[in-house]
Amino acid sequence: MSRRYFGTDGVRGTVGTAPITADFALRLGYAAGQVLAARHAPMLGSERPGVLIGKDTRISGYMIEAALEAGFSAAGVDVHLCGPLPTPGVAYLTRALRLAAGVVISASHNPFEDNGIKFFSSDGFKLPDTAEAEIERTLETPVGCNDAARLGRAYRVDDAAGRYIEFCKSTVPSALDLRGMKLVVDCAHGAAYHVAPHVFHELGAEVVAIGNEPDGFNINAEYGATSPARMRAAVGEHGADLGIALDGDADRVLVADHDGRLYDGDELLYVIVRHRAAREAIAGVAGTLMTNLAFEQALAGMGIAFARAAVGDRYVLELLRERGWLYGGENSGHIICLDRHTTGDGIVSALQVLVALREAGRRLPELSAALKLYPQVLINVRVPQDFDWTASGAIRSAQRDAERALDGRGRVLLRPSGTEPVLRVMVEGEPRERIEQTAESIAGAVRAAAGG
Read off the pLDDT of residues 391-406 as tens digits, 9 standing for 90 and up: 999 999 999 999 998 8
Q: What confidence score (pLDDT) does residue 47 get?
A: 80
Q: Which of 158, 187, 206 is where one domain is finished? A: 158
Do 282 and 233 reside in the same domain of the chain?
no
Rounded mean pLDDT, 285-306:
96
Its sign, for the CA torsion 393, 395, 397, 400, is negative
Weakest-pLDDT range from 5-14, 276-285, 287-296: 5-14
Residue 349 designated active-site = no
Give domain status of residue 1, yes or no.
Answer: no
In degrees rounded to 5, what are phi and psi of residue 426? -120, 130
Residues 118 and 202 reside in one and the same domain: no
- At residue 417, the pLDDT reads 84
- Residue 33 to residue 38: CA distance in whole angstroms: 8
Question: For 176-280, where are the E strands, in sequence order?
Answer: 182-186, 206-210, 242-246, 253-256, 262-263
Q: What is the percent of the chain where pLDDT is above 70?
A: 98
User: Does the pLDDT value for residue 42 go beyond 90?
Assistant: no
Least reliable range by pLDDT among 146-150, 238-242, 405-409, 431-435? 405-409
3-state DSSP assignment of residue 448: helix
Domain boundary among the residues 108, 134, 158 is at: 158
Instruction: Look up the domain containing 405 and give its range.
Output: 376-449
- Do 243 and 136 fall within a single domain? no
Average pLDDT over residues 33-46: 76
Q: How far apart are CA 10 and CA 206, in angstroms?
A: 37
Reported confidence tier of residue 4, pLDDT bands at 50, 70, 90: confident
3-state SS assignment for residue 319: helix
Say whether pLDDT at 41 is over 70: no
Confidence band of 407 (pLDDT split at 50, 70, 90): confident
Considering the domain architecture, whether residues 67 and 151 belong to the same structural domain is answered as: yes
Q: How far is CA 246 from CA 156, 232, 333, 421, in A?
A: 26, 13, 9, 26
Co-location of 55 and 151 in the same domain: yes
pLDDT band at residue 1 under the 50/70/90 scheme: very low
Asked whether residue 332 is domain-assigned, the answer is yes
Identify whether residues 69 and 152 lie together within a single domain.
yes
20/143 same-domain check? yes
What is the count of structural domains for the chain? Answer: 4
Query: In the predicted model, what is the mean pLDDT of residues 238-256?
Result: 98
**Residue 407 belongs to domain with CATH number:** 3.30.310.50
For 233, the enclosing helix (H) or strand (E) is helix 229-238
What is the reported pLDDT for 44?
Answer: 56
pLDDT mean across residues, the chain: 95
The CATH code of the domain that includes 255 is 3.40.120.10
The one catalytic residue in 106, 108, 122, 332 is: 108
Same domain, yes or no: 291 and 313: yes
Rounded (10°) CA dihedral 329, 282, 370, 343: 20
- Give the residue-averaged pLDDT of 281-292: 96
What pLDDT shows up at residue 185? 98
Q: Are 39 and 153 contained in the same domain?
A: yes
Interval 93-152: pLDDT, tens: 999 999 999 999 999 999 999 999 999 999 999 998 899 999 999 999 999 999 999 999
Domain end point (choices 126, 143, 158): 158
Asked whether residue 91 is assigned to any structural domain, the reply reads yes
pLDDT of residue 8: 77
Q: Is 344:313 a contact under the CB 8 Å cutoff?
A: yes
Rounded to an integer, what distance in angstroms lies between the CA atom of residue 269 and that of residue 88? 18
Residue 123 contacts by C-beta under 8 Å, 6 or more apart in sequence?
95, 342
Indicate whether 6 belongs to any domain.
Answer: no
* The pLDDT of residue 43 is above 80: no
* Residues 151 and 180 placed together within one structural domain of the fold: no
Q: What is the mean predicted confidence (pLDDT) over 310-318?
A: 93
Query: Is pLDDT above 70 for 49?
Result: yes
Residue 39: pLDDT over 90: no
* 273 and 300 share one domain: yes
**283 occurs within a structural domain:** yes
